[in-house]
Amino acid sequence: MLIFMVGCVSCLIIIFTIVNLALATESTFTYIPLEDEEVFSVSLYASFNSWNEWPMEKKPDGTWSITLDLEPGEHQYKFFINGKGLQDMSTARAGGPVDPNAVGYIYDGFGGQNAIYRIKEEATEGVVLVHNSDDPAYLCIADERLVIRLKTSSYQVAKVFLVTDEGKWAMDRQLQWEYGEVFRLSLKLSDSLKYRFIGYTIDGTEFSLPEDPSQSFFFDGIDHFPQLKWVSQGIIYQVFPERFYNGNSENDLLALKSDEFHYNQQCAQNKLWAKEGPSLANWNAPISPQHCCHQYFGGDLVGIIQKLDYLKDLGVTVLYLNPIFDSGSIHGYDTHDYLEVSPKFGTKEDLGELFNEAHKRGMRVILDFVPNHTGLGFWAFQDVVRNGEDSPYWDWYFIHKWPFSPGDPNAYKTWWGVGSLPILNTDNPEVKEYLFKIVRHWLNFGADGWRVDVPNEIVKAKEFFNEMRQLVKMEKEDAYLLAEIWQLDSSWVKGDQFDSLMNYALGRDILLNFAKGSIDGENTLANLSHYFSTYGENVTAMGFNLVSSHDTGRILTDLGGGNFGNLPQPKAVERLILLSTLLYSLPGAPVIFQGDERGILGEKEFYDSHRYPIQWDTADESIISHYKKLAQLRQKIPALTSSVIR
């Protein structure tokens, strides 16, 4: 088979000389209810549908299923039963797995397990050649050079040359994995360039792309997707503010006044909640049952300011802060007011000082933006609670019934069935206008970029983030836009939405598994090749390359280092040294989750331990020293901050 993809400035022509490529495989997903389980609806949410809802059909035997055509690869998915997601798809149901077609399970980032469905890619007959000049994976500007790439089937092509009006250049074989490889060439920038490919297969057959010698691909000389050097050359540190450092104890009690407890009427049905409510603990107090979201320890913005020199000494150049706006929990993803700093964290003046002090030290600051849902205390939602359909904000949400008890997940559309997180109608122009006002406001106040929470769940996401990117880049041209997307997915980083994804697909799926010994070196190299072939080099250069975060376990615990409160096992520390060295060596910005550099352990369970406050009088100094040395090496060796991988 020979596939030619002939790209013009805005079009793509596909010519099949032999049409026999099966691009998709029929795949069925099945849910088997428990005996006596009352099921009204079942929906499929998956990585291949951007985690949107696809209703499943009830069969005569009482099971629910959906059949789809899916491309080869590994797909994650989860079932929603009666509108609520199954937290752990690995839980046995009706004498077997939730879905008999699942081949495994993977941590979902929210305390549960997604199921995995795998379709093996079949080897194709003949040679495959792919180039798309509209896709940065094939044509982009990275490190101020024009990068041109051609994808081919593996072990089929001997040589490839790039031909322009100025001459002919041999392309390098850059990446290779089981089913594909990439040939690459970088050139000095020019005003414009017409180019084509010629080459030879391993049996000596000559080919050209485009096939017609009168046709060419075209580069217009414009950088449509600029690389942000401050990200490419940076080291990022994630701060979970409530658990980082308490710099001002006078605001500690304010956390209790704004907690979700005061708005969530469902709390009265929880005996523990009704008895205790939210609590304030000493910095080294034991974990309580409310620890996940409502046991406060007092971390704040002043505390971050006081630790800036520590972070500077660690080599950090970028801070990413979890939500700092007024909210009803320790995590802040249940916003009450996007225009106000949470009183438990401090004031706008404190935030302004943090921006100023960070910028003085050459550091940038990225804030966390949650446009998909609000908290129960958000002023617009409270107006709906009081006034129902008479509220001017009724259409800001998806209300199923009124009156209702705030916290009831059946009364309105919620994030994954969590009653305290009502979903915003981002297709409503008023909601969009409000959210975009927030984005502009904090950029003008001093923020250097946005990390966006669950962007795949936004209504009409592509349209929303296309608009958001335009306004962000107009306000601050070099602002960074980061998407919380967990899987390998280049559709978000084509130059019209985000600059990077949170690269769990690199840090956890590849590097962590290698360091754990779950994948050998040969397969790791192949996985890295596939990963770096998926994105443009300008994109991977701006990569947010993390292994752990507030949504995952602690690295050292994942590496077998032991549990919360103990000293890490030496073997796990060795694995961490290997893993962090790899992370600092690859294109993109390495990311440290607060405390990982100090050797902190967690638990395999969710949240309770790995978000525990940093104990500043305890640390593994050898690990801190290692991270400092890695930062120094990145400063001294240009290759370590290059966009190129070979």
Give the separation between CA 22 and CA 132, rounded to whole angstroms. 20
Q: Which residues contact 223 (CB under 8 A, 6 or more apart)?
A: 141
Question: What one-letter code names the amino acid at 250?
Answer: E
Side-chain-side CA neighbours of 563 within 13 Å: the count stands at 5
CA torsion sign, 529 to 530 to 531 to 536? Answer: positive
Tell me how many degrees the CA angle 413-416-418 measures, rounded to the nearest 5. 75
369, containing H or E segment:
strand 364-369
Phi-psi region of 449 (alpha: psi -120 to 50; beta: other; left: phi over 0): left
Nearest to 411 by CA among 83, 149, 38: 83
Side-by-side strand order, sheet with 480-483: 500-501, 480-483, 449-452, 364-369, 318-321, 236-239, 589-593, 544-545
Nearest to 543 by CA among 555, 526, 528, 558: 528
Q: Are 358 and 365 in contact (CB under 8 A)?
A: yes
- Provide the terminal-to-terminal Cα distance of the chain, rounded to the nearest Å: 28
Q: Are 87 and 28 in contact (CB under 8 A)?
A: no
CA distances from 141 to 18, 145, 568 (A): 34, 5, 43
Antiparallel, parallel or unpaired: β 500-501 and 480-483: parallel
Instruction: Compute and round to an integer the Cα radius of gyration of the chain.
Output: 26
Nearest to 451 by CA among 286, 644, 236, 292: 236
3-state per-residue secondary structure call for 406-459: CCCCCCECEECCEEEEEEECCCCHHHHHHHHHHHHHHHHHCCCEEEECCHHHCC
Give the separation between CA 461 and CA 456, rounded to whole angstroms. 6
Side-chain-side CA neighbours of 253 within 13 Å: the count stands at 1
Reply yes or no on whether 252 is catalytic.
no
- Ramachandran angles phi, psi of 300, nearest 5°: -155, 180
Give the separation between CA 342 and CA 325, rounded to whole angstroms. 5
Q: Are 365 and 321 in contact (CB under 8 A)?
A: yes
Antiparallel, parallel or unpaired: β 295-296 and 279-280: parallel
Q: Are 31 and 86 in contact (CB under 8 A)?
A: no
The active-site residue, picked from 181, 259, 453, 509, is: 453
Nearest to 146 by CA among 227, 77, 43: 227
Q: Are 27 and 68 in contact (CB under 8 A)?
A: yes
Q: Which two tokens stand for residue 78?
A: 């989860």
Question: What one-letter code names the amino acid at 292?
Answer: C
The active-site residue, picked from 484, 509, 551, 597, is: 484
Residues constituting the chain: 646
DSSP 492: G
- Ramachandran angles phi, psi of 429, nearest 5°: -55, -35
Tell me how many degrees the CA angle 22-23-24 measures, rounded to the nearest 5. 95
Catalytic residues: 453, 484
